[in-house]
Structure 1
Amino acid sequence: MRSLIVLARLLDYPTKALQQAAPEMAEVIKAETRLTPLRRETLVAWIRRIAQGDLLDLQADYVALFDKGRATSLLLFEHVHGESRDRGQAMVDLLAQYREAGFELDARELPDYLPLFLEYLSTRDEAGIAGHLGEIAHILARLTARLEEREADQALATATLLALIGAEDEITEHQDKVRAETRDDTPAALDAVWEEEAVRFSASSDQDCAVQSAAGQRRAQQRQNARDEARPVRVIDPVSGDLS
């Protein structure tokens, strides 16, 4: 499903390559008959805003949204397991699932990074896609509610994923809870997190240490992305649908 690749790119860090691919991405969305005309129009309008926007502003907004606090993390298992040892096993299981399907990863992202997960789903059949999206629907619903609360365009992508499986109504179940949450992206909240992570003695196994290290590396990479406009990204070929 090529539209999943487009949604993956829309949730990833903005680059010049993404802006240049906007016309092709818009055509893919226009042709996605599984979505309502209104949803297609809304997504295409967002893609045009990306194409016409100032890249540095887009990147700064992205980092402010996803690199400050964990409430809007695009790492799926962080919403379920945090950095516990259970997350480590879940990572191992997901990685094995990728490899069994012939989906090989590069070293840049963790297996549960949502855009990467969507790339994997784009290689599955419709039943597989629906099943996997159904398994993470509660995560997507809470994430969408948080993104909507922050008036972020990325809420359009996560809501679309729920719409593909007829689960968009689940978002409303989380809205009141999200409004009552204490924001974790304030200066005080961020200072508390960094103080906690400066010295951590809670790891009870090598697996725990590995997950904590990987999560820290992910956040460090995100901070580097804010300073590195040239970060590479794979884009879709409008004819073949291949990634490059």
Structure 2
Amino acid sequence: MTADSTATVRAWQAQSLLLGYPDEALLARLDLLTQVAGTLDHPVGAPLRRFIEHARTTAPGQLTADYVATFDHRKRCCLFLTYYAHGDTRNRGMALLHLKQTYAAAGLALTDDELPDHLSVVLEYAAIVPDHGAGLLAEHRAGLELLRLALHHCSSPWAAVVDSITATLPALAGDELTAVARLAAQGPPEEKVGLSPFSLQGAQR
């Protein structure tokens, strides 16, 4: 593994934590995450340091309320990546099952309340299996960009974390730009069937 890829793995690990629910365990790790961010190139590390400073200076109750308001109540700020590609359709159910099987093969076990397409989980997997994880993130590049734009639109501090993620990935081009424009205009597909045994209800990371 090269120095660059090692730094990317550290970035994905930090980003995974910072996109999780901001509980006491996360707040206790902010000093360590600041150290990690300081080892990363400016486009990746600087946004993380900016968010960490926000988390450090915001009252914990306010931070958790903002997290819920941002990610649970705004459809365009969805952290579940297959939603952008498949919406609530049968195809999404199959994509979730495939992801869970992929993680199990790599030794990543999820709890019952974790969906495998949550961005934090995808980043955690990418840090464990970087080559395949990078491809998985690239596969959802259009959804990530729509999430990034939506977070910036509502002036969310978590936009900085997604800025950091996209800085680890190739720039959007060609069909990906078209996919972002389509998602922004039309939203994900709709067909409210086929998600069993997975459900967004009560899922958290």
TM-score by length of 2: 0.81
The corresponding residue for 2:150 is 146
Structure 2 residue 59 is the aligned partner of structure 1 residue 73: no
Between the aligned partners of 2:154 and 2:15, the Cα distance in structure 1 is 19
Secondary structure of 2:128's counterpart equals coil
Superposed counterparts of 1:1-244, under 5 Å: 1-32=9-40, 35=41, 37=42, 39-125=44-130, 127-167=131-171, 174=180, 178=184, 203=193, 208=194, 210-211=196-197, 214-218=199-203
Shift of 1:83: 1.7
Shift of 1:210: 1.3
Shift of 1:43: 1.9
Identity %: 27
Distance 1:48 1:71, change over 3 A: same
Distance 1:43 1:172, change over 3 A: farther
The gaps in structure 2 that reach 5 residues or longer are: 1-8
Contact 1:77 1:87 in 2 (8 A): yes
Render the CA deviation track for 1:36-69: whole Å, top value 9, x for unaligned: x254233213212212210000011111101113
The gaps in structure 1 that reach 5 residues or longer are: 183-199, 223-232, 234-244
Render the CA deviation track for 1:124-181: whole Å, top value 9, x for unaligned: 13x3343222111111111101111011121112222221123268998758x85x78
Instruction: State the superposition RMSD in angstroms.
Output: 2.8
Shift of 1:96: 1.1
Distance 1:42 1:99, change over 3 A: closer
Between the aligned partners of 1:209 and 1:38, the Cα distance in structure 2 is 37
Distance 1:181 1:88, change over 3 A: closer
Between the aligned partners of 1:164 and 1:38, the Cα distance in structure 2 is 9
Specify the code of the residue in structure 1 equivalent to 2:144.
L
Structure 1 window deviating more from structure 2 (75-84 vs 142-151): it is 75-84
Render the CA deviation track for 1:49-105: whole Å, top value 9, x for unaligned: 212210000011111101113211111111121221111111111111111112211
Contact 1:159 1:168 in 2 (8 A): no
Secondary structure of 2:76's counterpart equals coil
Secondary structure of 1:80's counterpart equals helix
Secondary structure of 1:144's counterpart equals helix
TM-score by length of 1: 0.69
Specify the code of the residue in structure 2 equivalent to 1:44.
R
Shift of 1:116: 0.9
Distance 1:209 1:31, change over 3 A: closer
Contact 1:72 1:146 in 2 (8 A): yes
Between the aligned partners of 1:215 and 1:15, the Cα distance in structure 2 is 20
Shift of 1:26: 0.8
Contact 2:47 2:161 in 1 (8 A): no
Between the aligned partners of 1:160 and 1:38, the Cα distance in structure 2 is 7
Q: Which has the larger radius of gyration?
A: 1
Between the aligned partners of 2:173 and 2:162, the Cα distance in structure 1 is 13
Shift of 1:209: 5.5
The corresponding residue for 2:6 is none
Render the CA deviation track for 1:4-59: whole Å, top value 9, x for unaligned: 12101111111122112111001111112xx3x25423321321221221000001
